[in-house]
Homo-oligomer: A and B are copies of this chain.
Amino acid sequence: MRTYRLALIGFGNVGQGLAQIIRDQGDDIARQLGVQITIVAVSDLLKGSLYDPDGLSPTALLDAVQTSGDLNGVAAPHRDWNAQQTIAESSADVLVELSYTDLESGEPAVSHISQAIEKGLHIVTTNKGPIALRYPRLSALARDRGVEIGIEGTVMSGTPTMALGQDLLAAANITRIQGIVNGTTNYILSQMENGTTYNAALAEAQEKGYAEADPSGDVEGFDAAGKVVIMANVLMDASITLGDVARQGITGLTPQDIETARSEGRRWKLIASIEKTASGVKAGVRPTRLPTEHPLASVSGPTNAVTFTTDLLGDVTLIGPGAGRMATGYAIVCDLLGIARKVQPREK
């Protein structure tokens, strides 16, 4: 049995989804897959911080947040530690970095991750900021310290896109990646095809929790551009930055554009693309009119999809959820199982 003791920095939707999976399926995962997952510390700027070397009960954490919105009612031998102290002084062996996403500085996540790697912790994160901005440096640091970095949840939530590209297509030689990697914009475009205006579709996306109050990160393509950088650098061995991504959002699309495309048997999608060329990797995010028979054209609503074009297999497409509390919580479990496979010697 492999045991992972997690310190969660941030306890929003994703952290709570993870706690729910551990509460409901932790025993099954331990019994069937040989990996025991325990939360020993939670540090959240707003909800409070707890550390118990014997493990925190996921049920108690979830009940407290549901009743009071914070963690104050949960008993624990240590509390009020900030993120830094939690990483430094807890007995966790995995840092689960779930603080807020900042695509300009990557902070505070970059500092948390660097500190944890130095201390010898494995890292699992769903936070695009540090991975889009600092992956080459962080992964070199991790290699030096002999720890793993799991980043499944940074692209397509728990749909195992990164593991598919990194492990399973490793030798097939990926020459191009095309995808729909932002659920909010795909939902808006799908609704506009059904006759809804842009503003009404955006309001619906916000109501359903797909889009933030300030939607510019989604609709201007910044979120998708961050994912493009991550896929290029992790899966295609590039070293590009956000500035290298030719980015265009969906705010310029009119109902007329949508209708014209439809009359031509086409559909607008916000397509993220990365291509190996003779002069290096070309990366972009832009609205694209796909013919309806294109495998990405039928991906609608908040669903995401990525097509890997490879030398040995041709096109391989993965379609799945791009967001969601449980789906993103699963990304963390998927990474922990991946780390267990990578670092645990088997019988032979």
Contacts and interface: CB of A to CB of B under 8 A. Distances in A.
How many of chain A's residues touch chain B, expressed as a range?
35 or more
Given A168-B164, A171-B337, A312 B21 contact: yes
Interface string A220-241: 0000000000000000000000
Contact of A159 (B146, B158, B300, B316): B316
Interface in A173-196: 173
B160 A337 contact: no
A326 interface: yes
A183 to B, nearest CB: 13
A153 B21 CA distance: 32
Contact of A334 (B32, B171, B329, B330): B171
Interface string A292-313: 0101011110000000000011
Contacts of A168: 160, 163-164, 168, 334
A167 interface: yes
Interface stretch (A48-56, A96-104, A280-288, A338-346): A338-346
A253 interface: no
A341 B167 contact: yes
Contacts of A21: 171, 312
A319 B316 contact: yes
B171 A160 contact: no
Interface of A: 21, 25, 28-29, 32-33, 146-147, 158-160, 163-164, 167-173, 293, 295, 297-300, 312-321, 326-327, 329-330, 333-334, 337-338, 341-348
12 contacts: A25-B173, A146-B346, A147-B348, A160-B168, A163-B168, A168-B168, A172-B334, A313-B326, A313-B330, A314-B320, A315-B319, A319-B319
Given A167-B337, A313-B320, A342-B346, 15 more contacts: A21-B171, A25-B173, A28-B171, A29-B171, A32-B170, A146-B346, A146-B347, A171-B333, A171-B334, A172-B334, A293-B298, A298-B298, A313-B327, A313-B330, A343-B346
